[in-house]
Chain A
Amino acid sequence: MSSKTMNIVQSINSTLDYMMTRDTSIILLGEDIGIDGGVFRVTEGLQKKYGKERVIDMPLVELGIVGMAIGMSLTGLRAVPEIQFQDFIYTAFDQIVNQAAKMRYRSGGEYNVPMVLRTPYGGGIRGGLYHSQSGEAYFAHTAGLTVVTPSNPYDAKGLLIKSLRLNDPVIFLEPKKLYRSQKQEVPEEEYEIPIGKASLVHEGNDFTFITYGSMVPTVMNTVSKNNLDADVIDLRTLVPYDGETILNSVKKTGRVIIVHEAPRTLGMGSEISAFIAERAIDYLLGPILRVTGPDTPFPYRLEEHYLPNEMRILKAVHKMQQYR
């Protein structure tokens, strides 16, 4: 089995390339994605290979990019719009929430929108208020959207292939902090990672860490540096999240710590905690704890204080250790 060492950018780039060769209905559109290759270079070389009509450099209008992608996806194409930074998605929010998400339902299943909306999200690159947001909860709260976020190059490929074969809209969130931070062997042949299936990236008995996206490496480093005997669950899909993997782990460890970068109030952690409380409260040995970004906008100069880190995760561990 041959493989290549790649970072997330290369993995997504080569996967788009692979899929575009095989599925001629795939079409890419976004700002600066063609000649410039995208501001993060994720679509580098694709316009050259597939032409300007298939990798479309768009005028500066997110609402139009997503709206057109929906129209394309309603009529035989599989559009992959890129929003340059998730922070700029909001003028397109109406299209996402009221068109894409509701099309299948409102037409009684007559119409569907097989669109994969890609967008970089999260902090860690000194982007300040408007180049750092983690808005996954806005999408997760909307019925009809599948929300996916890979945390490594291997998963990025498998999740993207699967997303590109789904017949419903997918919000594909790319943790930009991890774009180039890690390399991994990625098999050259194709494979799918199922939607709704988490990955147990570390196994242990004392704690269950539930996390995703940019926080996966932070949690993993904390666990290995401190020899924590813990399960680490990388959700990979936020909607629908993998309840079974969560419950199996919680029943084993009884101690749950949820880690995400997005603000605490009504973040993914809120949903997961409620889910666990409803179904496994008898197994819990202590409160469900959340280590998250605070309920403030994302600051520029003080970003290292905003992002959850080892110290804050350990603080939660110590707090949890008081319950026996």
Chain B
Amino acid sequence: MDEKEKIIDGYRAMVLSRTLDKKIVMSQRQGRVGFYTPTMGQEATQVGLSMNLEDQDLIFEYYRDVPLMLHRGVKPETIIDQIIGNSDDKEKGRQMPSHYTAKDHNFMSVQSPVATNLPPAVGAAYSIKYQKKDGIVIATFGDGSTSTPDFHAALNLAAVFDLPVVFLCENNKWAISYPVEKQTRSEIWKKAEGYGMRGVLVDGNDLLEMYKVAKEEIDKVRVDGKPVLIEAVSYRMGPHSTSDDPSKYRTDDVKEGSDKDPIVIAERKLKMLNYIDDQAIEKIKVEAKERIDRIFDEREKIAAPKPETMFEDIFENSNWIIDEERGEIL
């Protein structure tokens, strides 16, 4: 893929993700989906990073990483199956919506307790280095998550052991109702220095900028094997989740289609480069909508997982206690 194609492809993934996002939010309002954490506003951050990844790289993602997953080739079906929790869902309908697993694209499994994915990401990087394998580890998290002990432990450990980890802080400026200015007195990217690693700040709202900065940083990680903390600043354009009412605490509303919308910014820049015109944009949007509508309706018809699946995968092999409980309950 040449540069131009690569960038258009990134834009296409952003649109696909936005389309899916809106579909799920609407379906939640209609009672067809239980819960969702919209990713709207973070598309450029994630896609710009993803454009620099290789197949063997491992990703310890968090619940808002749909654009990253879609760009890397995870099918919308996988996302929708998880959201609905149907019997085709890889996780067998066990997790709340937004908690994905996509092993076929080297995505780990999302947990709710924030930042608890970070120390394991460091362990995975150690493992790669120890086994002399190729690839690096990406670990993603929000701005609020930088207050956790897990974040600090992970940064320290990655630096101490010189490990190839890219810590991507997706700073959308909010942790539910709590603004980032109150979360920390220092700038997030600057915390890296305290741990003895590189830190950079990037406009995560701008696809081309994000792509460029992530490229520089990731190239370095691949060469020197040392960690980096990237703080990508964007906006949380939606509520924290479908259960959240931001009108109680938020006045800085960033509307879809405004000049802070990363899709609008990408369109403007891509048009300036003559990579794309209005007609092409329209085509990408229509195709995405048709695709998502079709897939969603189709996946919704898939049955729920069978009750006995609840008792699988506790261990590799079941034991008499679980077997007995299964017998009592089913």
Contact A63 B329 (CB under 8 A): no
Contact for B178 among A59, A63, A299, CB less than 8 A? A59
Q: Which residues of A contact B307 (CB under 8 A)?
A: 302, 305
Rounded to whole angstroms, the CA-CA distance of A88 and B116 in the bound complex is 10
Rounded to whole angstroms, the CA-CA distance of A305 and B96 in the bound complex is 16
Question: Given A294-B329, A300-B96, A129 and B310 touching (CB < 8 A)?
Answer: no
Rounded to whole angstroms, the CA-CA distance of A127 and B241 in the bound complex is 13
Contact for A128 among B99, B144, B326, CB less than 8 A? B99
Contact B147 A35 (CB under 8 A): no
Chain B nearest CB, measured from A62 CB (Å): 8
A21 near B: Cβ within 8 Å? no
Q: Which residues of A contact B249 (CB under 8 A)?
A: 35-36
Contact for A36 among B112, B176, B304, CB less than 8 A? B176
Contact B243 A60 (CB under 8 A): no
A296 near B: Cβ within 8 Å? yes
B183 near A: Cβ within 8 Å? yes
Contact A265 B96 (CB under 8 A): no
Q: Which residues of A contact B175 (CB under 8 A)?
A: 31, 60
Contact B147 A87 (CB under 8 A): no
Contact A301 B177 (CB under 8 A): no
B149 near A: Cβ within 8 Å? yes
B184 near A: Cβ within 8 Å? yes
Chain B nearest CB, measured from A203 CB (Å): 28
Q: How large is the interface on A (under 10, 10 to 19, 20 to 34, 35 or more residues)?
A: 35 or more
Contact A32 B148 (CB under 8 A): no
Rounded to whole angstroms, the CA-CA distance of A301 and B97 in the bound complex is 10
Rounded to whole angstroms, the CA-CA distance of A59 and B152 in the bound complex is 14
Q: Which residues of B contact A35 (CB under 8 A)?
A: 177, 248-249
With both beta carbons as reference points, the residue of chain A lying nearest to B184 in the complex is identified as A59
B314 near A: Cβ within 8 Å? yes
Within 8 A of A (CB), among B25-71: 34-35
Contact B248 A302 (CB under 8 A): no
With both beta carbons as reference points, the residue of chain B lying nearest to A291 in the complex is identified as B328
Contact for A312 among B85, B326, B328, CB less than 8 A? B328
Q: Which residues of A contact B176 (CB under 8 A)?
A: 31-32, 36, 39
Q: Which residues of B contact A85 (CB under 8 A)?
A: 112
Q: Which residues of A contact B311 (CB under 8 A)?
A: 294, 296
Contact B310 A306 (CB under 8 A): yes
Chain B nearest CB, measured from A88 CB (Å): 5
Q: Which residues of A contact B156 (CB under 8 A)?
A: none
Q: Which residues of B contact A63 (CB under 8 A)?
A: 148-149
Chain A nearest CB, measured from B135 CB (Å): 28
A77 near B: Cβ within 8 Å? no
Chain B nearest CB, measured from A262 CB (Å): 13
Q: Which residues of B contact A53 (CB under 8 A)?
A: none
With both beta carbons as reference points, the residue of chain A lying nearest to B248 in the complex is identified as A36
Chain B nearest CB, measured from A35 CB (Å): 5
A234 near B: Cβ within 8 Å? no
B114 near A: Cβ within 8 Å? yes
Rounded to whole angstroms, the CA-CA distance of A131 and B243 in the bound complex is 13
Contact A131 B305 (CB under 8 A): no
A278 near B: Cβ within 8 Å? no
Per-residue contact bits, chain A 132-157, to B (CB 8 Å; 1 contact, 0 not): 00000000000000000000000000
Within 8 A of A (CB), among B80-127: 85-86, 93-97, 99, 111-114
Per-residue contact bits, chain A 32-66, to B (CB 8 Å; 1 contact, 0 not): 10111101000000000000000001111101100
A90 near B: Cβ within 8 Å? yes
Per-residue contact bits, chain A 60-77, to B (CB 8 Å; 1 contact, 0 not): 110110000000000000
Rounded to whole angstroms, the CA-CA distance of A282 and B93 in the bound complex is 46
Question: Given A128-B99, A296-B311, A60 and B93 touching (CB < 8 A)?
Answer: no
With both beta carbons as reference points, the residue of chain B lying nearest to A294 in the complex is identified as B325
Rounded to whole angstroms, the CA-CA distance of A232 and B127 in the bound complex is 54
User: With A90-B113, A295-B322, A302-B305 given, can you name 13 additional A-B contacts, CB distance below 8 Å?
Assistant: A31-B178, A57-B182, A59-B147, A61-B147, A64-B147, A88-B113, A126-B35, A128-B95, A294-B310, A301-B85, A302-B93, A302-B307, A305-B310
Q: What are 29 contact pairs spanning A and B, CB under 8 A?
A: A31-B176, A32-B176, A36-B176, A36-B177, A58-B178, A60-B114, A60-B144, A60-B145, A60-B148, A63-B148, A63-B149, A88-B113, A128-B99, A264-B325, A295-B322, A296-B311, A296-B325, A297-B314, A300-B85, A300-B94, A301-B93, A301-B304, A302-B94, A302-B307, A302-B309, A305-B307, A305-B310, A305-B329, A312-B328
